[in-house]
Amino acid sequence: MVNNYSTADLSILLLTDDIFAQQASLDLKTLGYLPVVETALKGWSELSAYQPVMVIVDRTFTGKSGFDLCRQLRRAGEHVPILMLVEQETVAERVACLEAGADDYLLKPYQKDKLLEQINLYLQTETDIPEQLRFGELILDLSTRQAIRGDQVIGLTMKEFELLKYLMSNPQQVMTREEIIENVWGYDYRGESNVIEVYIRYLRLKIESQNQKRLIQTVRGIGYVLRE
């Protein structure tokens, strides 16, 4: 999932309450990032001037919905990772975040280890990676994090990208739920048990639209496999 970033002068935009922003800013500076704190939910045309490598936005920032900003970014074709701050870890919240275009979520109040985990997940560096993965007519561009099937270019959230990348890196192999969780969400994931089903459903809606042949197949009681 990985973007070839060095931390120098890279900004992370914080659209959160003062307490979270202050706590997170200290840890982000330690990592070499530049935290940019905004106290009002502006349009992306203004916020994009910061050129952030990540956006962290409160679900109910200043009484408005952080979902609106997510939708605005995705409609504009922006692929910057977005983390949504939520107060409850429920399936409904996860689905709402996903539908709005957020890549993942963070629970309030502030938890240093969880923030660092997400930073490592979405902004770690990686070298010597192939530019594309291919499976039949499906192409995954690793530099733009877009999928291509036929003449259709498909935008993906970060987590959708990671899940598809993992399946395409292991074609024709049945991947268990445990393997998917460990490799896409991390071995210490303790969230909702049906998170895989939620993301598989959204991936299918994107890459198997227009009556195209199903590629991601369910192996009942075990997991999923990418095969024609």
Last residue of a domain, one of 63, 94, 123: 123
77 shares a domain with 174: no
What tens digit of pLDDT does each residue of 69-88 get? 888 888 887 788 899 988 88
Q: Which amino acid is at 165?
A: K
Last residue of a domain, one of 123, 140, 159: 123
Closest CA to 1 of 38, 54, 52, 72: 54
Q: Is residue 213 part of a domain?
A: yes
Q: Residue 180's domain spans which residues?
A: 132-226
- Does residue 39 carry a pLDDT above 50? yes
SS (H, E, C) 9-78: CCEEEEECCHHHHHHHHHHHHHCCCEEEECCCCCCHHHHHHHCCCEEEEECCHHHCCHHHHHHHHHHCCC
Amino acid 192: pLDDT? 62
What tens digit of pLDDT does each residue of 45-61 get? 667 778 888 999 988 76
- The pair phi, psi for residue 22, each rounded to 5°, is -65, -45
174 shares a domain with 214: yes
Give me 24's structure tokens.
Answer: 């997170």
119 shares a domain with 16: yes
Last residue of a domain, one of 102, 123, 144: 123
43 shares a domain with 96: yes
What tens digit of pLDDT does each residue of 104-143 get? 888 888 888 888 888 887 876 554 455 888 898 899 988 7
Domain count, the chain: 2
What tens digit of pLDDT does each residue of 10-37 get? 889 898 888 888 999 998 888 888 898 8
What tens digit of pLDDT does each residue of 183-228 get? 888 756 655 668 889 899 989 988 987 777 889 999 998 999 998 8
86 shares a domain with 17: yes
The 8-class DSSP code of residue 4 comes to -
Separation of alpha carbons 145 and 180, rounded Å = 19
